[in-house]
């Protein structure tokens, strides 16, 4: 039975292997350069003192390949579900070959078990290898990633560590289940893709933020969490935009970030009139009126200090960076439950309902 399963998977497996080897070759060729650039850059910047700028530049330069390999890891499970999962049973039912194979001297339970286990393991191996290669290659970039692209952020989280394997196994079993219900390959592929995409969106949007209770805290405003201050020249009120980052917690996944005033009331992010600070005189007046602040940076810092003094804070809920691995395991566990449920359903259905 393993032979037959392998024989039926062979074409797809070879294609996938060739693609993975090509990807691995590219990563292996560029990875060491990336790592040495990073370490020499770190050495230089620790002497010079401004590593933040180095991180920004380093990450900006490599952002496109970084996103490309990340997307590869995110898309691979969907492809596995489409091309390995959905046709696994649907194609047999469509061509009637299930009647041929079910009349050999093995039970259909065993037939399904071998097909699921073998192809499922192949799916997990492919996704695991792909994720491992990308995780290795992207390590310097993950360390210097800009807010929104850190390991905890939804885009990157799903493309590192062990969750890609869970996604691949889930996509595969989902494809098999849908194929068994729909009984036709192409519609099964479409339905499986739609359901998988919905689950993959629902996970980071709805479920993942609550895997562990998020931390909620107020932070002083500083260049780390303030994107910009707009100081109107005509004496209107000050506008401030926050970045989705929090000082002192590099790489945290910021779920929400608001400006609050002294009493803890949430202010509209950049609404006019929100911040009650004088813009005609004092630290937040336009620089022309305050020639004593020679540099724009000083002026900016002075204004920020004044806003802080007035009690304005960034109120943020977030998942700290050190929860990356706990989250990986919890999420993989959740998918394992889904996989177990779908697998049990497949066995029940093939025994009772499919003809």
Partner 1 sequence: MTAVLQARGLGKRYGRRWALRDCTIDIPAGHVVGLVGPNGAGKTTLLKLAGGQLAPTSGSVAVLGGPAGGPAQLAKVGFVAQDTPVYAGLSVADHLRLGARLNRGWDAALARNRIGQLGLDLSHRAGNLSGGQRAQLALTLGLAKRPELLILDEPVASLDPLARREFLQGLMEAVAEHELSVVLSSHLVADLERTCDYLIVLVDSRVRVAGQIENLLATHHRLTGPRRDPGRLPADQHVVSARHTDRQSTFVVRTEAPIHDPAWTVSGLSLEDLVLAYMEKPAAARPLLEVQQ
Binding site for partner 1 (CB under 8 A): 1, 3-4, 7-8, 11, 95-97, 99-107, 351-352, 355
Rounded to whole angstroms, the Cα distance separating 261 from 51 reads 32
Q: In angstroms, give the least distance from the CB of 348 to partner 1.
A: 12
Kindly tell me which of 101 and 190 has the beta carbon lying closer to partner 1: 101
Q: In angstroms, give the least distance from the CB of 88 to partner 1.
A: 13
List residues bridging with 254 in a β-sheet: 318
| Sheet bearing 313-319, strands edge to edge | 215-219, 313-319, 253-260, 266-267
List residues bridging with 275 in a β-sheet: 238
Q: In angstroms, give the least distance from the CB of 351 to partner 1.
A: 7
Enter the tokens of residue 195.
């359901």
Kindly tell me which of 1 and 215 has the beta carbon lying closer to partner 1: 1
Q: In angstroms, give the least distance from the CB of 92 to partner 1.
A: 9
Kindly tell me which of 57 and 351 has the beta carbon lying closer to partner 1: 351
The kind and range of the H/E element at 319 are strand 313-319
Please identify which residue in the block is written with the tokens 């390995």.
84
Q: Which residues of 166-179 are buried (b: 16+ CB within 10 A; e: fewer)?
A: bbbbbbbbbbbbbb
Rounded to whole angstroms, the Cα distance separating 56 from 58 reads 6
Q: In angstroms, give the least distance from the CB of 353 to partner 1.
A: 9
Rounded to whole angstroms, the Cα distance separating 280 from 289 reads 8
Phi, psi (degrees; rounded to nearest 5) at 218? -105, 140
Q: In angstroms, give the least distance from the CB of 77 to partner 1.
A: 25
Q: In angstroms, give the least distance from the CB of 179 to partner 1.
A: 17
Enter the tokens of residue 98.
């299930």
Burial class (CB in 10 A: 0-12, 13-18, 19+), 255: middle
Enter the tokens of residue 86.
């959905």
Kindly tell me which of 46 and 97 has the beta carbon lying closer to partner 1: 97
Kindly tell me which of 97 and 256 has the beta carbon lying closer to partner 1: 97
The kind and range of the H/E element at 191 are helix 185-202
Kindly tell me which of 28 and 100 has the beta carbon lying closer to partner 1: 100
Enter the tokens of residue 63.
């952002």
Q: Would you put residue 318 in left (φ > 0), alpha (ψ -120 to 50) or beta?
A: beta
Rounded to whole angstroms, the Cα distance separating 156 from 99 reads 44
Q: In angstroms, give the least distance from the CB of 123 to partner 1.
A: 20
Kindly tell me which of 40 and 107 has the beta carbon lying closer to partner 1: 107
Enter the tokens of residue 99.
């009647």
Q: In angstroms, give the least distance from the CB of 125 to partner 1.
A: 23
Please identify which residue in the block is written with the tokens 């395991």.
329
């Amino acid at each position: 039975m393993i032979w037959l399963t392998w024989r039926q998977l062979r074409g797809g497996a070879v294609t996938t292997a060739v693609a993975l080897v090509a990807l691995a070759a590219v990563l292996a060729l560029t990875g060491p350069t990336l790592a040495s650039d990073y370490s020499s850059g770190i050495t230089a910047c620790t002497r010079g003192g401004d590593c933040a700028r180095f991180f920004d530049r380093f990450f900006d330069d490599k952002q496109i390949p970084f996103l490309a390999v990340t997307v590869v890891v995110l898309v691979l499970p969907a492809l596995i579900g489409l091309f390995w999962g959905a046709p696994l049973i649907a194609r047999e039912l469509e061509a009637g070959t299930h009647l041929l194979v079910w009349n050999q001297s093995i039970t259909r339970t065993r037939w399904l078990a071998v097909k699921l286990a073998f192809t499922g393991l192949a799916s997990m191996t492919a996704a695991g290898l792909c994720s491992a290669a990308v995780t290795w290659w992207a390590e310097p970039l993950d360390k210097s990633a800009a807010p929104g692209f850190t390991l905890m952020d939804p885009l990157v989280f799903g493309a590192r560590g062990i969750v890609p394997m869970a996604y691949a196994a889930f996509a595969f079993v989902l494809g098999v289940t849908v194929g068994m219900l729909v009984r036709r390959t192409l519609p099964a592929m479409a339905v499986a893709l739609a359901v998988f995409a919905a689950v993959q969106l629902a996970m980071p949007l709805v479920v993942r933020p609550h895997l562990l209770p998020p931390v909620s805290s107020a932070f002083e405003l500083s260049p780390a969490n303030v994107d910009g201050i707009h100081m109107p020249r005509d004496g209107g009120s000050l506008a401030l935009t926050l970045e989705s980052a929090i000082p002192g917690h590099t790489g945290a996944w910021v779920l929400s970030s608001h400006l609050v005033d002294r009493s803890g009331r949430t202010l509209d992010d950049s609404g006019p009139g929100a911040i009650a600070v004088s813009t005609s005189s004092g630290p937040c007046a336009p620089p022309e009126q305050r020639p004593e602040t020679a540099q724009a940076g000083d002026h900016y810092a002075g204004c920020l200090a004044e806003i802080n003094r007035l009690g304005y804070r960034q109120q943020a809920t977030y998942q700290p960076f050190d929860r990356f691995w706990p989250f990986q395991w919890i999420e993989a566990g959740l998918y394992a439950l889904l996989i177990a449920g779908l697998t049990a359903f497949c066995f029940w259905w093939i025994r009772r309902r499919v003809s």
